Structure 1
Amino acid sequence: MTHPIGESLRLADDLVVRRLGYGAMHLPGPGVWGPPPDRDAALAVLRGAVELGVTHIDTADFYGPHVANDLIREALHPYPDDLVVATKVGVVRDGSRAWTPAADPASLRAQVEENLARLGADALDLVYLRVGGDGLLPPDTTPFAESFGALAELRERGLVRHLGLSGVTTGQLAEARRIAPVVAVQNRFHVADRSGADVLSACEAAGIAFVPYFPLAAGMLRPGLDLSQAPPGMAPDAGHLGTLDEIAGRYGATRIQVALAWVLAHSPVTLAIPGTSSLAHLRENVAAAAMALGPDDVAVLDKL
């Protein structure tokens, strides 16, 4: 199935999304903490995403905390039949604003129930277990199989429809698949960071969707930003930016659009979930799904 914002990808028999979605991490205030500076604007972005054809929204109750999910419910509930809201568990936020691993079975059950309540859902479409396998977060002390097994049990109970993984190694992906089906994986991967390439290859081999988080290098691909402030592994260099700008000029596009179009062109199993709190940036991002990069340009970007 095609659409003006791009083709769709079937993650499971009953789970189909368009390949360019929306990530809700930018909706809360600075540091992904507290309410947005402009609540009406945040609601407008969510409604605008669905109006533009987005059928996949990625969130987490620890965004805010609770802020992103509350905004999603206010803006979009009752949800369109074709809208998939994916969320993540395994991390909590407290007054220190730290991102604290919390993947023991009791914590995961509580997080799933909190997501259900905040989103106003009877069951969660897709729940990712966020772990520390990609180095951005410390791993929880709970054995991985015990954590994923707890989510598999919640799936059996009908509280979760489908399971995913975030920040994992190929070994953890294989271990999880021995416990329950995995339909999607979120790991670090963008035009300036190929650290998730081995996990992407494993997903391709298994027919599992691969969803790069921070597909725009945590926003560091946008012109005018201070690259010295980039999170570890997120800073593009002059070569990345120059190549993106050169290709963008040939298409009458922006480097952002080229970077997103490349994510989708790089592999048939990739999805993109760029986040923003700006309607203008939302429209720019969504337009990238309609770009058809030539094979030579894809190859140049592949080799960066």
Structure 2
Amino acid sequence: MRTTDGSFVLGLHRSGHARDLLEAAVDLGVTRLDTASNYLRHRSHEALKTTAGDLLPKFSVSTKVGFFPEGHSLDPARLRTAVEQAVKDLGREPDLVFLHNPEHSASDAGTLGPACAALADTAKAGLCRSWGVSTWDPRPLMDFDVPCPDVLMVRAGLLVGLDVLEAAETLATRWRPSHVWGMSPFGGSTAQEVWERFDPRVFLRGPASATKVQAAFRSSYGLPRVDAVAVGTDNVDHLRELTEAVAYEVDENVVQEYRQLLKARQLP
């Protein structure tokens, strides 16, 4: 069974790409940034290069391609051009490039397979170090075979429905990625009412000092089992809170009980 290393990835979705946040990330030992070509109104790469400047070499950078100003596309030539543009805009090769939400355009293996092969080719050509697939909804992709990606990124956490959770695990088994990452552990925001009504600290072993936010974040590493979790914030205190949560231990028995409850709720 793959083990979880508790790696933290600072996501830049909805982020302002502020310098003080990036400086705090370096101070806190965060070494991974995740962005996409369409973040910050398709200006994320340029903004990151300008804002991070001398800090950028301190990070491993992952990005995503597939969304263009005029819409989503899996055209292999466009994807390669997007990766080449990312290299120019970042001023360096990305460490990892994801195919971004291919379920938007993948009607059959004739579109998804060549798109994945195009990204695999960019890695072979030295335009990036590795490639992967990032999917918000893995269910439409479960029956497709693609070249083995280095990383599969899926939604993770307590707000992921059982159907999406199981589809992500099926996809990981079918595609055999070297690593699986999670994303969006709070379902978009820690301010949602659900986090007021529910105490996720039941999923942790021991420390009563953990906050609800920390418990919700740490438990996401087991739903599904992932090696790293990408989460965004523009608040330095929130960033510190999340990085400290990685040290907590998840109670696997509680996670299994929770999964059994999800399955029981789906029974007729």
Q: TM-score range by the shorter chain?
A: 0.7 to 0.9
1:200 aligns with 2:198: no
1:55 corresponding residue in structure 2: 31
1:115-141 alpha-carbon deviations (Å, 9 max, x no partner): 1122111x22111112343xxxx3256
Alpha-carbon contact 1:165-1:186 (below 8 Å) kept: yes
Q: Relative to structure 1, is the Cα distance of residues 204 and 252 closer, same or farther in structure 2, using a 3 angstrom cutoff?
A: farther
1:33 corresponding residue in structure 2: none
Alpha-carbon contact 1:66-1:118 (below 8 Å) kept: no
Q: Which amino acid aligns with 1:254?
A: T
How far has the Cα of 1:87 moved from its partner? 0.6
Query: Which of 44, 48, 57 is the matching residue for 2:20?
Result: 44
How far has the Cα of 1:58 moved from its partner? 0.8
TM-score by length of 2: 0.79
Alpha-carbon contact 1:189-1:197 (below 8 Å) kept: no
2:266 corresponding residue in structure 1: none
Q: Secondary structure at the match of 2:39?
A: coil
Q: Relative to structure 1, is the Cα distance of residues 250 and 157 closer, same or farther in structure 2, using a 3 angstrom cutoff?
A: closer
Structure 1 runs of 4+ aligned residues shifted over 6 Å read: none
Higher RCO structure, 1 or 2 (CA under 8 Å, sep 6+)? 2
TM-score by length of 1: 0.70
Q: Secondary structure at the match of 1:256?
A: helix
Q: Which runs of 5+ in 1 are unaligned?
A: 1-6, 10-17, 28-35, 95-99, 228-235
How far has the Cα of 1:276 moved from its partner? 0.7
1:73 aligns with 2:49: yes
1:214-246 alpha-carbon deviations (Å, 9 max, x no partner): 121111xx24x4x6xxxxxxxx588xx424266
How far has the Cα of 1:186 moved from its partner? 1.4
How far has the Cα of 1:76 moved from its partner? 3.2
How far has the Cα of 1:199 moved from its partner? 2.4
Query: Which of 102, 114, 118 is the matching residue for 1:146?
Result: 114
Q: Which runs of 5+ in 2 are unaligned?
A: 263-268
Q: Relative to structure 1, is the Cα distance of residues 268 and 8 closer, same or farther in structure 2, using a 3 angstrom cutoff?
A: closer
Tell me, in whole angstroms, the C-alpha distance in 1 between the residues paired with 2:124 and 2:26.
Answer: 30
Instruction: State the Cα RMSD in Å.
Output: 3.0
284-293 vs 75-84, which moves further: 75-84
Identity of aligned residues (%): 23
Query: Which of 65, 70, 75 is the matching residue for 1:104?
Result: 75
Q: Secondary structure at the match of 1:107?
A: helix
Alpha-carbon contact 1:77-1:120 (below 8 Å) kept: no
Q: Which amino acid aligns with 1:127?
A: V
2:180 corresponding residue in structure 1: 210
How far has the Cα of 1:82 moved from its partner? 6.2
Query: Which of 287, 291, 304 is the matching residue for 2:244?
Result: 287
Alpha-carbon contact 1:45-1:278 (below 8 Å) kept: yes
Q: Relative to structure 1, is the Cα distance of residues 295 and 148 closer, same or farther in structure 2, using a 3 angstrom cutoff?
A: closer
How far has the Cα of 1:88 moved from its partner? 0.5
Q: Which amino acid aligns with 2:10?
A: Y
Tell me, in whole angstroms, the C-alpha distance in 2 between the residues paired with 1:252 and 1:300.
Answer: 23
Query: Which of 8, 14, 24 is the matching residue for 1:26?
Result: 14
1:274 corresponding residue in structure 2: 231
Alpha-carbon contact 1:130-1:166 (below 8 Å) kept: yes
How far has the Cα of 1:26 moved from its partner? 2.2
How far has the Cα of 1:289 moved from its partner? 0.6
Tell me, in whole angstroms, the C-alpha distance in 2 between the residues paired with 1:198 and 1:257.
Answer: 26
Aligned positions, number: 249
1:185 aligns with 2:152: yes
1:257-302 alpha-carbon deviations (Å, 9 max, x no partner): 1111112245664311110111121111111111123344444544
